[in-house]
Each structure stands twice: as structure tokens, then as C-alpha cells.
Amino acid sequence: MVSNRIKIPLFIMFAKITGMETAIQEKIDSWLNGSYDTSIKDTIRSLQQENPTELIDAFYKNLEFGTGGLRGIMGVGTNRINTYTIGMATQGFANYLKKCFPQQEIKVAIAHDSRNNSRTFAEITANVMAANGITVFLFEALRPTPQLSFTIRNLNCQGGVVCTASHNPKEYNGYKAYFNDGGQLVPPHDKNVITEVNAISSVDEVKWSGGAHRIHILGKEADDAYIQMVKQLSVYPDIIQLQKDLKIVYTPIHGTGFKMVPDVLQAFGFEQIHVVEEQMEPNGNFPTVVYPNPEESEAMRLGLEKAKGIDADILLGTDPDADRVGVGVKDLHGNWVLLNGNQTAVLAFNYLIEARKKKGIAKENDFVVKTIVTTDLIDIIASRNHINCYNVLTGFKWIAELIKSKEHEEHYVIGGEESYGLMIGDQLRDKDAVSAVALLCEMAAFEKNQGKSLYSKLIEIYNTYGLFREHLISITKKGRDGQEQIAQMMQQYRTAPPLDLAGTKVVGVYDYENQEAKDLSNGQVCKIDLPKSNVLQFVLEDGSKISARPSGTEPKIKFYFSVQGKLDDSSHFDQAYAALGDRIDAIVKDLNL
């Protein structure tokens, strides 16, 4: 028997069940009736019938142009990375640059990584900028993000853009905006650009074409200038000559480092550079990994296999836009291990501080910078060596801003954060895995020349300055409700902070959103002299520190754990380090994570 009832489209039924806001439907209608490609409209109609949930997620909000730009899943809709959201963001950024630099020739540099559609998005960005009367320097092909930062400064540009989603999964892409110092946007420019971007209400307001003659392609000259800059960061080129056969294994994990990193290592003088062939091809699908992130052991698996197979001295891996570096070394038992970002930073900071002193090039006004969630061991090393160590909010834009504020008073040496990022020297203003790889190989050569390894050097540092162990837990909350759940978690910790963890009292609470540090022993409250940021830190009586921070680029909340102890004898390292691991486990358990 055939029913006479009228079939209600699934999309309409779903809308009624969920009470979908009229505003979402209006956005969908504006795309169906507006100046959008036919293929885009066909995709929307298909989603209406086949996947209304995804369609709602694609339109329920506008993809936010945050303080670092855009990052999101690629696809149709206002909450996705696509031709139109990229074009509208670029129009807003162009409008702001023209307001900031009136009556001037405005220049921008544009780069992109190996992700799917990155070249297309970079070309759209170039075309919109050029159509707005701006001179554009577009790299001929994919290049590392740090090279863009250097090029902005080297060519005296007023701004820059790189199309990348850094280490995110393959479904993602993004758009990072830079200002004339080569750093990402900081106040007041970040909020002002957001205002300009939000003011673009229609794709019809975007100048899509008309300035092709203003686009200049960058190639070998720009590469050579960057390589020369990195080469000058070497402290001991003579040691490299003695250890030029250092056996290096490198993987770009299908990203932009595939050519630039080996070229820089050769420029430094290293001759035994072995690449992971399966991961050398730039490929936005990242076919050999789940996540193209050197923080993940799975992404470094092929590199570890190669390093073991050829008995290498060091393994290095970089993420798709080559601003993060992962490091593998042999431990005291000959087993290959991956260093965490804090350990890599400790080795790099300590090396530059020690090496500059030994070489006689240290300056009285040298300073280093780290983020508030990066190991405090760096603060101790700097203090013992009478060097200022400044702490800033998470993100290299804050390191760049600090350098800018002190460039006529103090001399910047190195900055870093626990998320596998280092920035060496002041010729660029973003984290740079290319120069980090070169410096880490120089460090390995220096230690090998003394009959040591980077791992034994790390233990030596622990023995001298104190034993630290760190751990990171990331909790992902996807979908429409994810951000709300994360906000609720932070609110709960803010209103009812833990009083003790793993049997140790919490003696201090640092609330960077409210810019207050509270001493729980006496109730005294001090002001935190940093910009507002949604970060909470709990300091325990024994010096342990736990930080909670929602990610600014992903639907995640991150918990950072740092515990410390003493290491009186290097031979006891394994036991002492394991004991700190047990302590972290106990704290995690008490937090119900």
C-alpha cells in the first residue's frame, strides 16, 4: 500500500527537531542565491538531502578570524576554509593595511605549505591583495612558514600571509596573517584586523582580480638569502668540520621542509644527511601518518626505523609548514627515544648560553624568552648564568612582540615553547624548525666531539640545575558544543580550584584571564603583568605546576604538567625520572583527567 502522506525533506525535519535558528537558514540561502560557483551550490543542495548535520555545522557560525588568522576544516560554508572565506579575510586585511600605511607603497609576502588547496588559497590571497593596489611577493612554490617571516623583514614588507594549518589533520587548512615586523598580529593590530574582516559582509565586497601586474614571484634569490641568514647562526662551524660525518636522519613528514632543511644542513657543512624517502614527497593527504605532527610518536615512526637501521646519531622531523621540530636520540642504554619539546628547548637554550660564553661572543645584555607553560628549568639555567629570561603568553607572536620592545636595550638570543618550537636569532619573528634542525645537529656534533651524546648532555643539565619532568594531556571537544564544554571546564577550575593534588597543597593560583596571582596561604593577590589570556595555573608546595589552557587553533583544552626533583648522581637518572612520572600520574588521577 502506497502512503498518501507528503514526504518532508530530511533537512526540514532535522531543522524542526533541533529548532535550527533562522539565521543559519538565511546564511545557507544567501550562498544558494548569491555570487557563488555552481559547484558550491550543488554541494549545499546535496548536503541538505544527505547530511544536514554537516550542513548546519558548516553554516551555524562564521569561521572566526582570530588573533592569528583563520584555521578550520575545508569545505563549503561560512564555518569552513574555502575560496570565499579566504577572499573575505584577505579583503579585510588589505583594508587594514591601507589604513595603517596611507600614501605608501604597501608590500606583502605570501607563502603556503603542502596542504591540499594551499596553493589555490595563496594565489587567491595574492590576487585580492594585488587588486587592492598592493605589491605582492608570492613564492613560486611551497615554502616554510619561518622563511615567510624572514622574507617580510628582508623585503621591508608591511605584511604577509601564509596558507597553512600547521600540524593539524589533513582536513584542515588556515591563513596566518603577519605584520611589518615579521611577527603574527598582536594588539592593537589583531583586534583591528578582526574588525575589518568582520565588516566584509558579502563576497561581492571582495576585489577578486585586476592587479596581476603587481604580483612578483619569489624563488632562488629569496631562498639563498634565508639560507645565508640561518648559516650565520652557527656558533661552532669548526666543530662541524671535525664532525661533518655526523649521521643525520631527517623527515619533512610530507611538508615544506623537504628541500630547505637538507639545503641548510649542507650549507652548515654536514655530509651524511639521510632522508626518509617515504615522507619526502609533499602531499596534503599525509599518506604515511595519522597526524603530520612531530609531537606524535606515530609521525616519527618511519624516521626512527631508518635511524635504527643506519645507526644514526640524530633523528629530526618537521611538520607541514616546517615551524615545529621533533628530535630522536639514543639514550644511555642505546635505545632510541623521542625528546619532548621541553627537553629540546632546554638543550637548545643551554647550548647557546654555554657556547656563546665559551666562544667569547656573549653580551652583557643577552636575554632569552619562553612561554608560561614551558619548563621552568630554562629560568633556572638563565638565572645561574646571569641572563634575563622573560616569560610570555603561549605563541611566538608574544616572543616577537617582546623582542620588538627590547631591541634597543637588550640582545635577543633564543626563544622557545614546549610545543616543539624554537626561534634562534632576531632576523625572523616566528618559530623556525629549519634553523632549529641545523642548530640541533651542531649541538650533536659538539657533544660527539667530546665523546658525549645529546641525551647524556641532557642528564648533565638535570644533574647541574635540577631534574624536571613534563607531560601534556590534550582533550578534544569537537562539534557545536565543544567550545561550550571547554568553557565550562575552565569556569569550574576558576571558581573551585583544587586545594591539594597528589597529597601536596596547592599554594598558588595564577589566573591569566583575570590577570591575578593568588597566594592561597595568606590570600594575597598580585597583578599579572601580561595581556589577558584564558589560562589557569596551579602551583604546588613542592614547586610542581599544572596549567590549563584551551587551544587557540583547535577544539582542544590542554593540561600541562611539570614536576621537579633532585638528581645527585647521573647513574640514578632512570629511577628518579620514573618517580617523577609516577607523581604526574597521581596528579592526573586527582584531576580526573
- Point out the residues that are catalytic: 166
Which DSSP state fits 516?
E
Neighbour-count burial of 460, counting CB atoms closer than 10 A to its CB (0-12 exposed, 13-18 middle, 19+ buried): middle
* Distances 233 to 227, 230, 351, 394, 498 between C-alpha atoms, Å: 10, 5, 12, 24, 45
In this structure, how many other beta carbons lie within 10 angstroms of the beta carbon of residue 134? 25
The β-bridge partners of 467 are 565
**Rounded (5°) CA angle 104-408-158:** 20
Phi and psi (nearest 5°) for 413? -110, -55
Paired with 540 in beta bridges are 506
Helix ranges, 360-472 (H): 377-384, 396-406, 433-449, 454-465
In three state form, how does the secondary structure of 140-204 look? CCCCCHHHHHHHHHHCCCCEEEEECCCCCCCCEEEEEEEECCCCECCCCHHHHHHHHHHCCCCHH
Backbone angles phi, psi at 307, to 5 degrees: -60, -40
Sheet containing 366-371: which strands, arranged edge to edge?
A: 388-392, 366-371, 411-417, 421-424
Contact 253, 299 (CB under 8 A): yes
Instruction: Specify burial of residue 552 (Cβ count, 10 A radius: 0-12, 13-18, 19+).
Output: middle
CA atoms of 41 and 76, how far apart (whole Å): 9
Find out whether 270 and 298 touch, Cβ atoms under 8 Å: no
**For residue 272, how far is the Cα from the chain centroid?**
29
CA atoms of 42 and 360, how far apart (whole Å): 67
Beta-carbon contacts of 177 under 8 Å, excluding residues fewer than 6 positions away, are 68, 69, 89, 93, 159, 160, 161, 184, 185, 193
